[in-house]
Amino acid sequence: MIDTDALFARLPALGSVRVLVVGDVMLDRYVYGAVERISPEAPIPVLRVERESAMLGGAGNVARNLAALGAQTIFATVAGGDAAGHEIAGLLGEERAIEAQLVIEQGRVSTVKNRFVGGAQQLLRADRELAAPLSATARQNLLARVGPSLSECDVVILSDYGKGVLADGVARDIIGAARDAGRAVIVDPKGRDYGVYAGATALTPNRLELADATGMPTGSDGEVEAAARALIARLGLDHVLATRGAQGLSLVRADGTALHVPARSVEVFDVSGAGDTVIATFAAALGGGLAADDAALLANVAAAVVVAKLGTATCSLAELARGLLGSGGADPHASKVADLARLRDEVARWRQAGLKVGFTNGCFDLLHPGHVSLMRQARAACDRLVVGLNSDDSVRRLKGAGRPVNGETARATVLASLADVDLVTVFAEDTPLALIEAVRPDVLIKGADYTRETVVGADLVEGWGGRVVLARLAEGHSTTATIRRMGGG
């Protein structure tokens, strides 16, 4: 049984941890578009490109996940002097929460993964890479950056993607130096020869990697335990944290005991980078003084967060907290009430999945059938519906003293209970204009008592290609009239 309250109370410890990440950085590039026809040249879909994005991948995604959790992050890596390497350097420069120790090796080919996505479906991945050990100079420069950072960090992560940054004994040298400095080393391994990671604190292979490295089956809990124990005995590890996809993850300890954590039931959009999130969360929790069991439980929650997103994603500390509380019997509708930061994240995720976003707003003081009808019509015009809710102060300015009858928390909770509503966000201004600019909805919905000219934000929405929908009114329903009847009898 998970002690959710105790784990929740320890979450702030993740923000006080200083983590050193060393490994293979890569550029993850996404090309999004729509597929509307098949090519006449070959039986393949034609992707009509709508937008592109690029982000740090590989060990860079581990660093991004640590930063999202609030951990103080140092990232040491090597990139080529090519165009992709310069783009990686630029992206690192934008990550203000990451202290980058980037070595540029001229002549090295930077790893790039190009993913082509039609709607929510990945159609093709095209990689450009040349896996090779570091040059003598690049190796020396990297280790020169790692050395001083060891004394500053609480825990070290080696993120090995097999591209060469940790090859030829670099991993061994860092593990030895870290252990001499009394620092835990968590490794995401690659390849079959795990002997290069001897002396590490923990390894985080996936189920297939564990089978490949040990030559043992890993289909059942018992088989995973046996393979992990063999690895622990051979390499002198404290733990093996094996990720098992839909089966969750398994933590096997040096004393032979094990913890099997089932995967959380979520709508899976993309498993890209989930292993990066697991090792980042596990290491940050260990560095923050949490027990390995608790660290594994948190890593499992974080993994559920990122697989529900499209693309190489991160899990923030706030998302980790919400995910954790979601397992403890919290109000299921509370998760639909979002602050602005979470609203932006959710809307971005919906857009990546090719979903049409709608927006409506109001005071919604006493919810009546007219409001329910509005929400039903609004949801029919889009795939996901965001409702902007006037704060209590905003309602008082608009409606006068004595309003609202119900506070903003109660009003938000009631709105969130409607199946047609996907997110509710409270805004303090008199109009939802700033919120509309943040959401950039594809559809803006208001009641037919408005005209297109009187709908706040209509010009903005139409300006970026969206549309305004005026929903028909359910006659005979009014909050003001209801309050008048309640007061006057």
Q: Which two tokens stand for residue 174?
A: 């860092």
Q: Are residues 28 and 80 in contact, defined by beta-carbon separation less than 8 angstroms?
A: no
- Burial state string for 368-399 with b = 16 or more CB within 10 A and e = fewer than 16: bebbebbbebbbebbebbbbbbbbbebbeeeb
Listed residue (352, 265, 254) closest to 304, CA to CA = 265
Same domain as 389, residue 317: no
| Beta-strand runs (E) in 24-142 | 25-38, 45-58, 72-80, 98-105, 112-118, 121-128
Number of domains in the chain: 2
CA distance 212 to 463: 55
Q: Any residues with CB less than 8 A from the CB of 148 and at least 6 apart, and which?
A: none
How do strand 443-447 and strand 423-427 relate by DSSP bridges? unpaired
- Domain, as residue range, for 154: 4-330
Same domain as 374, residue 275: no
Q: Are residues 105 and 81 in contact, defined by beta-carbon separation less than 8 angstroms?
A: yes
CATH of the domain at 358: 3.40.50.620
Q: Which two tokens stand for residue 129?
A: 């890479």
* Domain final residue pick, 296, 330, 364: 330
CA distance 137 to 105: 8
pTM of the model: 0.70
CATH of the domain at 132: 3.40.1190.20
- Eight-state DSSP code of residue 117: E
Same domain as 341, residue 326: no
Same domain as 283, residue 144: yes
CA distance 83 to 421: 44
Same domain as 401, residue 303: no
The length of the chain, given as a count of residues: 489
Q: Is 5 a catalytic residue?
A: no
Identify residue 470 by its one-letter amino acid code: L
Q: Given this model, what pLDDT does residue 65 score?
A: 92
Same domain as 347, residue 316: no
Q: Given this model, what pLDDT does residue 329 score?
A: 35
Same domain as 163, residue 63: yes
* Domain final residue pick, 330, 358, 374: 330
Same domain as 343, residue 312: no
Peptide bond into 404 cis (omega under 30): yes
Same domain as 349, residue 265: no
Per-residue pLDDT of the chain (489 residues; tens, 9 = 90+): 567 778 888 888 888 899 999 999 999 998 988 898 999 999 999 999 988 889 999 999 999 999 989 899 999 999 999 999 999 999 999 998 899 999 999 999 999 999 998 877 889 999 999 899 999 999 999 999 999 999 899 999 999 999 999 999 999 999 999 999 999 999 999 998 999 999 999 999 999 999 999 999 999 999 999 999 999 999 999 999 999 988 889 999 999 899 999 887 555 445 567 889 999 999 999 999 999 999 999 999 999 888 877 666 788 887 888 788 764 333 444 468 888 888 888 888 788 777 899 999 998 887 878 888 999 999 999 999 999 999 989 998 988 876 787 788 878 888 888 889 999 999 999 999 999 999 999 999 999 888 989 999 999 999 999 999 999 886 654 555 454 554 543
Same domain as 379, residue 438: yes
CA distance 71 to 58: 18
Listed residue (279, 243, 216, 262) closest to 2, CA to CA = 262
Considering the candidates 28, 154, 160, 276, report the single residue annotated as catalytic: 276
* Domain final residue pick, 330, 360, 379: 330
Same domain as 247, residue 196: yes
Q: Given this model, what pLDDT does residue 484 score?
A: 54
Same domain as 319, residue 342: no
For residue 309, CA distances in Å to 286, 304, 312, 345, 402 come to: 25, 9, 8, 9, 42
